[in-house]
Amino acid sequence: MKLDPKELLRIDKDNLDEEFTKQALNYYQVHELYAQCGKEMDFLAQRISISEADEASDFRKDQLKAGGKATALAIEHHLAHQPALMEMRREQIELKNKRETLQGLLRGLEHKKECLKSFAYSYGRNTIM
């Protein structure tokens, strides 16, 4: 589904019946994308957590073999510079931004629903969403 907020939020006052139908479908589709994005965020957070734990464990072992001790600060620094973890964190930020955009679109669709109700009552239609 292509998300064009201007198209999704536009109201055609001459076709309110069609707008009511499209509104429900659009809200459902955007909500599905929002929920899927949340699932992807949760899955990615788990992957990051597991990868960080594995990488930290390997770093501690390497430090012990070298005769040193891995401090919390050294581990944190090491994890912050791992390319795979950096890429996962970048993906996490992109998903967060996408989810926030979808959440804003859902709020816009809720506002559109209220506007459609107002138009319906103004034009004397007895349509209820």
Written as six digits, the tokens of 37 are 């994005």
In a domain, 27, yes or no: yes
In a domain, 50, yes or no: yes
In a domain, 127, yes or no: no
pTM of this prediction? 0.80
Instruction: For the chain, give the secondary structure using H, E and C.
Output: CCCCHHHHHCCCHHHHHHHHHHHHHHHHHHHHHHHHHHHHHHHHHHHHHHHHHHHHHHHHHHHHHCCCCCCHHHHHHHHHCCHHHHHHHHHHHHHHHHHHHHHHHHHHHHHHHHHHHHHHHHCCCCCCC
Domain count, the chain: 1
Average pLDDT over residues 10-20: 84
Q: Look at 72 and 3; give whichever has higher pLDDT.
A: 72
In a domain, 8, yes or no: no
Unique residue bearing structure tokens 């001459």:
14
Q: How far apart are CA 104 and CA 107, in angstroms?
A: 5
In a domain, 10, yes or no: no
Residue 125: the pLDDT is: 58
For the ranges 45-49, 52-56, 63-67, which has the lowest average pLDDT?
Answer: 63-67
In a domain, 70, yes or no: yes
For the ranges 7-16, 43-52, 67-76, which has the lowest average pLDDT?
Answer: 7-16
Residue-number span of the structural domain to which 25 is assigned: 15-122
Residue 129: the pLDDT is: 47
Average pLDDT over residues 78-101: 97
Write out pLDDT tens, residues 110-120.
Answer: 999 999 888 87
Residue 20: the pLDDT is: 84
